[in-house]
Amino acid sequence: MKKWLKRIMPARRTILENRHLSVFGRLLHDPNLWHLNRRSASGAVAVGLFVMYLPPVGQMLIAAGAAIALRVNLPISVALVWITNPVTIPAMYYFSYRVGCWLLGTPAEHLGVEFWTDWHHWLAAVAPLTVGSLACGIVCSAIGYLTVQSLWRWNLAREIRKRKERYRAMAESRLSEPSSKRQL
């Protein structure tokens, strides 16, 4: 898991040279932001998945600020907000809107042409979209956090099991060798 994450993570230099993230200055040089362990990876996934449901203005800055404040892996946090892109935004925010309508108990507006031409409809959609986005962000964040924690533990247990099997095989091969070879 750790090798795969290191392979797909953006390079440290790429993030340090990003002009939008330069507002954080020396804070970006904290080594804890670049560590890759179970805590920092799962926290970074939680931050990134929560921030991706926020309005798409300044998501990278918000994710970077949260990663710095929570001292989790910065590249993962920043990279995950890019799940929100022009292709995924309509589906994500429509789903958030529907969830918000369900949570607030309000009927969902029909999002036809008349909805987009009259700004009064937009104001009616703000509350359900906000509530739905926060709810979706919290749920995605929790699921992402627990998934990374579980996968990391599963992978660690598998590596320990493999190591024990290797040691056991080495010990058995030594025991099966003739005693004359063992004495040499």
pLDDT tens for each residue of 100-131: 999 999 888 777 767 667 766 677 788 898 99
- Give me 171's structure tokens: 């010990």
pLDDT tens for each residue of 140-164: 999 999 999 999 999 999 999 999 9
Most confident of 2-16, 35-49, 121-135: 35-49
Phi, psi angle pair for 19, to nearest 5°:
-65, -30
Radius of gyration of the chain (CA): 24
Tell which residue, 67, 17, 21, has the closest CA to residue 46. 67
> 31: which DSSP letter?
G
Output the CA angle 86-81-116, nearest 5 degrees: 35
Task: Tell me how far apart the alpha carbons of residues 122 and 111 are, in angstroms, rounded to a whole number.
Answer: 10
CB 121 within 8 A of CB 109: yes
- Structural domain including 146 reads 2-183
What's residue 11's pLDDT? 66
Residues contacting 74, CB < 8 A, separation 6+: 15, 28, 33, 34, 44, 64, 67, 68
The DSSP string of 72-93 is: --HHHHHHHGGGSSTTTHHHHH
The count of structural domains within the chain is: 1
Task: Tell me how far apart the alpha carbons of residues 53 and 133 are, in angstroms, rounded to a whole number.
Answer: 5
